[in-house]
A and B are shown apart, each in its own frame.
Chain A
Amino acid sequence: MSTGNMNLTLQVWRQKNKNSAGKLVDYKLSDISPDMSFLEMFDVLNEQLITKGEEPVVFDHDCREGICGMCSMFINGQPHGPKDLVTTCQLHMRSFKDGDTIVVEPWRAKAFPVIKDLAVDRSAFDRIIASGGFVSVNTGNAQDANALPIPKAKADAAFEAAACIGCGACVATCKNASAMLFVSAKVSQLALLPQGQPERYRRVQSMVAQMDEEGFGNCTNTGACEAECPKGISLENIARMNRDYLSAKFISEEEV
């Protein structure tokens, strides 16, 4: 059991609640092990703050294995930090050097208001899914699962789109705070599968309308979302969504 030897300076965004102003606060940490995860390093910081009688830093996290999508730190200007295809909870301190200064901020987007410190409100994503990110099939209405063969390539492509964890890194990194990658991943998953066809064009219209209503920005094809996505969700999904959205315009209202 090795104790570590890294010394770090953290600059962490502290904000009491959504109505108050926030600021970066400096913290010194010593004896950090390179085998710690980034969030375990925050556990150490919080333990020290509690012991000193100060308020610990609030941050969202849950599964700590890169799948629940709850962790959300903006680290040195990048969502989920410097490593590709990794969430903050799976980022380890061996990705940093002794003596580093690390700046940690919350996701920044109008549609993701800060709740406290590093935690933001991402309920806009739930509302987008509620507007159409589903197949309308009640429990008990399904036919045999193998009644409808689906080509492996299609099923695999749908799975890759469905791998989105809804963390919001795409929004946080986009200069327009656009949610196009998130929305298009769900639109694509269902557009690629036969089960998604009946509602295909209605779905894309409802979800895009809800996305706009939530205050997310437009897509200007910078590709930052794809580059920062911890799950490697592809820009192709945005192209597919745009095609479907356009197609929907040419389909009469009754058919949609």
Chain B
Amino acid sequence: MSKLNSNIPAGELTQKWTKYKSSIPLVNPANKRSLEVIVVGSGLAGASAAATLAEMGYKVKCFCFQDSPRRAHSIAAQGGINAAKNYQNDGDSTYRLFYDTIKGGDYRAREANVHRLAEVSANIIDQCVAQGVPLAREYGGLLDNRSFGGTQVQRTFYAAGQTGQQLLLGAYSALERQVGMGKVQMYTRHEMLDVVVIDGKARGIIARNLITGELERHFGHAVVLGTGGYGNVFYLSTNAMGSNVTAAWKVHKKGAFFANPCYTQIHPTCIPVSGDHQSKLTLMSESLRNDGRIWVPKKKDDPRKPSDIPEDERDYYLERRYPAFGNLVPRDVASRAAKERCDAGYGVGASKLAVYLDFKANTERYGRIEASKAGNHNPDKETCMRLGTAVIKEKYGNLFDMYAQITGENPYETPMRIYPAVHYTMGGVWVDYDLMTTIPGLYCTGEANFSDHGANRLGASALMQGLADGYFVLPYTIGSYLSKEIATKPIPTDHPAFVEAENNVKATIDKFLSINGTKSVDHFHKRLGHIMWEKCGMARNREGLTQAIKEIQDLRREFWADVKVPGSADEFNPELEKAHRVADFIELGELMCIDALNREESCGGHFREEHQTEEGEAKRDDENFAYVAAWEYKGVSEFELHKEELNYENIKVAQRNYK
């Protein structure tokens, strides 16, 4: 078992990034013009990197599978983006954001990376505002903030419940500006199906034009993946239908290590499953926990309507168990607490797999403030509710509308019913401090890498990381590689490595189309999702994981023998696209279970039932598991574990306590 080198610069934590940044070799403008970079993915991490690299002078090609880079799933992020601006004068600082993120990640993230993230967080807000991103403001014209889980300051910037949309459209406009100037070549409706490695370095990709079906070879001096997370391995998740692991999995099979695959974030506040037809789950932003109180009836199987259950017969279980953080505990803690109540028989709704998220108390409180502002110091309840509803509407209107549309219920009148759902994956392609994978010249940014969130991501930190990587980290760090590549001439794409990679992709496609089995791709995807959710979901144990590995192996064999992919290779064929993605999800699912089985502790989003405290909280084992588990692909069902030890020099590692 080899040790991995994370290449963290020496020196004091707060100086590492500043010093390192100033020592990265530069590439002169003339040389930049002849260096080509491929960016796969056009979400926050990809679009920001592609735009910035082009601004710096590199020749950039950017790829996305959607019909426009603006569709990437970053667009759906609702709640906000963290930044250590301390605009609220509530004692926030770079150190506190760093500390909260390490603690929130249950002491399984790298100190140096997280500190850098906290350092550049403020620049992100500046950049986005300069681009014309309309973040929420107060009447004085200054930016507004709100709270998110796992913190006690207000450092979250937002744009109603559409923060991801606004930030992505900012990055998209920066990207399109470079496209207009001819400095980025944009390839929409293209999917990367392999990376090309020549003499040990990433030198290009094979992409499929999804409209014509043509396989294309593209050369790059370096390749950057910003391809998002793999939550869709569970079939039902809050991810977009097209979100997939394929690019990340292909590079894994070519030598890039895959780190901490078992760290999955189950988001506590999603709209519950309504039936077998369900194709995806919809998140209700964590920001709602600012004003929504979570509860279940104190009585099991209480048949009453929520409005008929009096205060003293409600169990506000988060406020009861975690008085210091209350409804704003981190996501992993909130999700497990909901599951615990439902498993114990206190769930609500038809499925009994839901809890209430209730806005009534705070609606009334806001109404009282509004009435007071208007000079009415003794308003009746009805006035309070009317005025307060207007405030709630301004804060969360689009989320309430979405809830009403999906469930057919009016959340202004009755509490929302919510339940945890797969939302984000902290694991991903292993990268060093430069965001370079174990394949030289191949980089990975945003959710697709594993780097900053440890075993649990705090709310409003995904947008922060995606944009930090793309705007402020990768464009610098890639210089230390590219500065050594200035003499490398573009490699012709008839090089044997390109030919071989394309032939392999073609063989896979031919195989899919020739099986002509009896079951659709979705059929297998749903079965995989079921195994993963039941045995590698919110709670895991040795027996279940061992079974899951066997079941997934069987499923893989059945998939390759009995899947039915209609249509042909040389046309627009979404079923063929799905087949690639599901084939990769099946292999990833197995690795996730292997990783979860290996990690004999509970931490963050990874909860092993064998390892919990008497109060049912996650019990870490720092002595044996304070490492990043980076897996090397050795062949079908064969993975070798490499460990990167995590050293905490600036933070005292402790049991997380939100009580």
Contact = CB atoms under 8 A, between A and B. Distances in A.
Nearest to B243: A62
B464 interface: no
Interface string B121-155: 00101111111111111111111000000000000
Could you say which of A132, A145, A163 has the most chain B C-beta atoms within 10 Å of its C-beta?
Answer: A145
Q: Which of B123, B135, B186, B240 has the most CB of A within 10 A?
A: B240
A137 B71 contact: no
Contacts of A144: 126
Contacts of B408: 35, 92, 94
Interface stretch (B96-104, B105-113, B165-173, B420-428): B165-173
A67 B575 contact: no
A178 interface: no
A50 B575 contact: yes
Interface in B507-522: 518, 520, 522
Contact of A69 (B51, B71, B143): B71
Contacts of B276: 1, 3
A145 B177 contact: no
Contacts of A33: 275, 277
A69 B518 CA distance: 33
Interface residues of A, number: 82
Contacts of A90: 402, 405-406
Contacts of A64: 240-241, 279-280, 282
Interface in A62-107: 62-70, 83, 85-86, 90, 92, 94
A62 B166 contact: no
A62 B73 contact: yes
Contacts of B240: 62-64, 68
A35 B71 CA distance: 26
Interface string B175-193: 0110110000010100000
A133 B173 contact: yes
Contacts of A214: none
A137 B131 contact: yes
Interface residues of B, number: 84
Interface stretch (B6-14, B411-419, B532-540, B563-571): B563-571
B85 A122 contact: no
B277 A155 contact: no
A55 B567 contact: yes
Contact of B282 (A65, A143, A196): A65
B155 to A, nearest CB: 13
A245 interface: no
Nearest to A132: B180
A123 B141 contact: no
B68 A86 contact: no
B279 A92 contact: no
Contacts of B142: 146, 149
B130 A35 contact: no
A50 B137 CA distance: 51
B76 interface: yes
Q: What 3 A-B pairs have minimum CB-CB distances, sorted nearest first?
A: A149-B141, A130-B180, A142-B130
17 contacts: A2-B275, A40-B277, A47-B522, A50-B575, A51-B520, A63-B71, A85-B401, A92-B406, A92-B408, A94-B408, A115-B211, A122-B68, A139-B48, A139-B55, A142-B126, A145-B126, A158-B134
Given A123-B68, A126-B70, 7 more contacts: A1-B351, A35-B277, A60-B67, A68-B66, A145-B126, A149-B140, A166-B70
Interface of A: 1-3, 17, 33, 35-37, 39-40, 43-44, 47, 49-51, 53-56, 58, 60-70, 83, 85-86, 90, 92, 94, 115-116, 119, 121-123, 125-126, 129-146, 148-152, 155-156, 158-159, 162-163, 165-166, 189-190, 193, 195-196
